[in-house]
A and B are shown apart, each in its own frame.
Chain A
Amino acid sequence: MRKVQFLVCVFVLLTTLVLGGCGGGFRGDSEGASDLGETIFGPDSLM
């Protein structure tokens, strides 16, 4: 099997997993995050 075929398989697998709801983590803080964050993570949590 050639390397190109492997890379295509990897791409397809990753796409499937991402579309299937796995991964993520690219969102920013939502409204109220900095206010609630101090309560949940501690007062010195913001850097």
Chain B
Amino acid sequence: MRNVIWIFLFLSAQFFSSEAAFREGDYVITGFRSTSRDFPQTGIGLIKGASADTLEEIDSVPSVQPGQIILRRKLDGEYRLYKGMLDTAAFNNRSNLYYAFQIPGWARISDLIHYRIYRAPTDKPGSDEDLVFFDSERIYLRQFSRIYYFRNGNWFSLEGSASLQQGTIKVTSTPEGAQVIINGVPSGKITPCEIEGLIPGTYVLELFLPDHHFYRKLVPLFPKGTVSVSFELFSDMDTVFITGKAPHGVLILPQPPVDKRYRIDSVMVDDYKVRLLPGEHRLYWDGGALYKSIDTVITIEEGRISFFDYLFRRQYGVLRVVPDPGDAEVCIQNYNCRIGEQIIEVPTGRYSVSAFRHGFRNLKKDIIVLPDSIVNCEMSLMQIPDRDADGYIDNVDRCPDVYGLHDGCPRQKMREAIEGKRQDLIDYIRNDHFGIGFTVMGMILKIPTRKHFSNFLSTFSSGKIGGVNNYRGLTFGNMIEVMYRGLFASVELGQWTAGLHYQRPDTMELKTRNTTYLVYYDSIMEVEPVLFLPSTAISLGVHYNWSWLNLVYSIGYQWEDIIIDQIYDVGKQEFSRITFDNDWWFHQLYTELDFQAGEFFEPSVYFKFKFPFGPFKWTRWHVLQAGLQIKLFPHLHKGKKK
């Protein structure tokens, strides 16, 4: 008996210790990362993007139409969502078998997508599947016919099927010949017709026939099922008369967005086609907290069909989310995640609000936003006792209380940290689209490294400085840059049309080994010495675009001439034009501040520094440039066309 008590106490201790080790929150995902970057398709299967080779990244799942599919991808402990279309051909690939799992009855897609999916029950929350697919009815996973999720302290399993069990919808209409539109996409078929190969789900069927009213029906399709749908189309050009002698008219009502019935006078009506006596009737529909209600009077004429065309309008409220600590990231369902407090006007309804911050336990709340009111939501996060930041909470690995903060606690290995950063960089390079930039207008300032030449130059620049001289002045459209896959290239023209003029009243004497030159200004004799600095530079390097900031490092070579025109050679007794060939290398550091990220046409301000190095012939320069430029991103232009 004593042994039995000991075994009971031991098992109880095991049970409670395992309960304490992980909480239910560890098995769910509270927030999704989103950086609005597309994901290149690399033979994942089952999903194909709307464009040729990428999947669009999204930050939440408002609703999923039949045929649409969501990919949830885990990378470095973060989860991202991508939207695409279901590629049913993946189910024919026997070597890479996919299974479809029916979503349980309690869940909506927006709820279930937060649950981690496992191959087997486990006490390691982080061992969930990396790639999981969802649509409005199913979960899809590769290779495993049974999957698990953790909810309300218990493990639940789902059984999968290796086929989609497609069904058929038969559509007929009176009159015939109407175009059939499924989920807003024309099917290319005309009534009467059969649409085969549809995966189970709920479809929105619409029929379009010129000069007839537009009709819409929701059609549920079950696995391997066949559904017949018929439409009666009314002309909107001619008056429709009801045959017979019944003294009534017909009112056609639109299908409301929520399942609430209309009330006409004092009678609740179940159908959207109502027979009414001629005269005025009061029409009422309660939109509740979601939609603006209808309360109006309609007039019915005898023997005629009347249509009540109405656009249902949502109600709005204000949602205010205050996180504690104040720099926690807040994610509101259907909106982008942001740091700190948020106040936004949103359509009324239920919202899932999440907050997370490193070192704190993630928090998720469901909030109901009511019409014309402000809803305050405080998100107080609880600090996770993981002081050694090794990914294991301290009461599990007993760090640092038992082993000390840095003695014996497992830390992230340097190799793993480097591998994580390397993956981030690869992701960035893959997602860096082709972009091209043109400078519009800017300023240039050059400082020669040779003091002797600097003194000489000051005699030319002591007068009026300005214009386009490639020294201290303006530049116009002088640089073109191209960026792609993290690489950067630029071509820069050193513009010199104005030049630097010598307009001093005194004469400068330049004595050389062989002769003497005189530099003087005489407007009457039209002697005006000018110094020109034409150049062309190319540079190659790398760039990193972080939100509205673009940082560039490149290495380049500048072909440059220093030309002095109209100096008097005393030996030859003639005016000369001397050209110095002066080519030099430079490092270029370059910063662009974009005014509006994520657009095809993007103005930005640039600051550019050139630091010379390596061999040169006469002098090197330090160069500072700043100005305005325009950048164009062709892939965003394509998106706009759609």
Instruction: Report chain A residues within 8 Å CB of B98.
Output: none
Q: Is B616 located at the chain interface by the 8 A CB criterion?
A: yes
In contact, B617 and A13 (Cβ under 8 angstroms): no
| A41 contacts B452, C-beta separation under 8 Å | yes
Instruction: Mark contacts of A5-47 with chain B using CB atoms, 8 A cut-off: 1 yes-contact digit, 0 otherwise.
Output: 0100010011001100111111111101101111111100111
Q: How far is the CB of B541 from chain A (nearest CB, A)?
A: 18
How large, as a class, is the contact surface on chain A?
A: 20 to 34
**Residues A2 and B580 in contact in the complex (CB < 8 Å), given A25-B494, A41-B452, A42-B453:** no
Cβ of B517: which chain A residues have Cβ within 8 Å of it?
36
Known A2-B634, A23-B536, A39-B512; contact A18-B578, beta-carbon cutoff 8 A: no
Q: Mark B499-522, 1 if CB is under 8 A from A, else 0.
A: 000000000001111110100000
Contact with A along B515-553 (1 / 0, CB 8 A): 101000000000000000011100000000000000000
- Bound Cα distance from A22 to B493, whole angstroms: 6
Q: Is the CB of B513 within 8 A of A27?
A: no
Query: How far apart sit A14 and B480, CA to CA, in the bound complex (Å)?
Result: 8
Query: How many A-B Cβ pairs are below 8 Å?
Result: 116
Complex Cα spacing A46 to B569, Å = 22
Q: For the complex, what is the distance from the CA of A28 to the CA of B132, rounded to whole Å?
A: 65
- Cβ-based interface call for B619 (8 A): yes
Contact call A1/B581, Cβ cutoff below 8 A: no
Selected contact of B579 from candidates A27, A41, A42, CB within 8 Å: A27
**Interface size of B by Cβ–Cβ distance < 8 Å?**
49
CA distance A24 to B535 in the complex (A): 5
Say if the beta carbon of B193 comes within 8 Å of chain A: no
Bound together, the chains give a CA A42 to CA B451 distance in angstroms of 8
Taking A36-B512, A45-B619 as contacts, is the C-beta distance between A22 and B495 under 8 angstroms?
A: yes
Q: Name the residue in A2, A29, A47 with the highest tally of chain B Cβ atoms < 10 Å from its Cβ.
A: A29
Q: Is the CB of A3 within 8 A of B618?
A: no
What's the minimum C-beta distance from A28 to chain B, rounded to whole angstroms? 5
Report yes or no: B493 in contact with A47, Cβ–Cβ below 8 A: no
Q: How far is the CB of B205 from chain A (nearest CB, A)?
A: 38
B491 at interface, CB cutoff 8 A: yes
The answer to whether A33 and B580 have CB atoms under 8 Å apart is yes
Per-residue contact bits, chain B 570-582, to A (CB 8 Å; 1 contact, 0 not): 0000001111110
**Which one of B110-118, B139-147, B554-562 contacts A?**
B554-562
A1 CA to B453 CA, complexed, in Å = 48
Task: State whether A13 touches B480 (Cβ < 8 A).
Answer: yes
Measured CA separation A12–B315 after assembly (Å): 54
CB contact under 8 A between A32 and B536, given known A2-B634, A23-B495: no
User: Which of A18, A25, A47 has the largest number of chain B CB atoms within 10 A?
Assistant: A25
| Complexed CA–CA distance, A3 and B436 (Å) | 10
Would you call A37 and B511 a contact (CB within 8 A)?
no
Answer whether A37 and B580 are a contact pair too, CB < 8 Å, given A17-B477, A47-B617. yes
Whether a CB of chain A sits under 8 angstroms from the CB of B291 is no
Known: A13-B477, A32-B569, A35-B514. A47 touches B497 (CB 8 A): no
Q: Does B43 count as interface, using CB distance less than 8 angstroms?
A: no
CA distance in complex: A32, B255 (Å): 92
Known: A39-B512, A45-B618. A6 touches B579 (CB 8 A): no
B637 lies within 8 A of chain A by Cβ: yes
Q: Is B583 an interface residue (CB 8 A)?
A: yes
Q: Complex Cα distance A23/B637, Å?
A: 31
- Nearest chain A residue, comparing its CB with the CB of B638: A1
Bound-complex Cα distance A1 to B579 (A): 43
Report chain B residues within 8 Å CB of A18. Answer: 493
Query: Can you list, as one digit per residue, whether each of B421-450 has a CB less than 8 Å from chain A (1) or not (0)?
Result: 000000000000010101000000000001
**In contact, A40 and B558 (Cβ under 8 angstroms):** no
In the complex, B203 has a CB within 8 A of chain A: no
Q: Do B453 and A40 touch across chains, with their CB atoms under 8 A apart?
A: yes
- In Å, the complex CA distance between A17 and B434 comes to 23
With A13-B438, A28-B581 as known contacts, state yes or no: A35 contacts B512, CB within 8 Å: yes
Q: Top 6 A-B pairs ranked by shortest CB distance?
A: A24-B534, A42-B452, A23-B493, A25-B559, A25-B535, A30-B579
Residues of B within 8 A of A (CB): 434, 436, 438, 450-453, 456, 477-478, 480, 482, 491, 493-497, 510-515, 517, 534-536, 558-561, 564, 569, 576-581, 583, 615-619, 632, 634, 637
Chosen A-B contacts, 24 in total, with CB atoms closer than 8 Å, are A3-B434, A6-B436, A10-B436, A13-B480, A22-B493, A22-B495, A24-B534, A24-B536, A25-B494, A25-B535, A25-B561, A26-B536, A27-B581, A29-B581, A32-B515, A33-B578, A33-B580, A35-B513, A35-B514, A35-B515, A39-B512, A45-B450, A45-B453, A47-B616
> Which residues of A pack against B, CB within 8 Å?
1-3, 6, 10, 13-14, 17-18, 21-30, 32-33, 35-42, 45-47
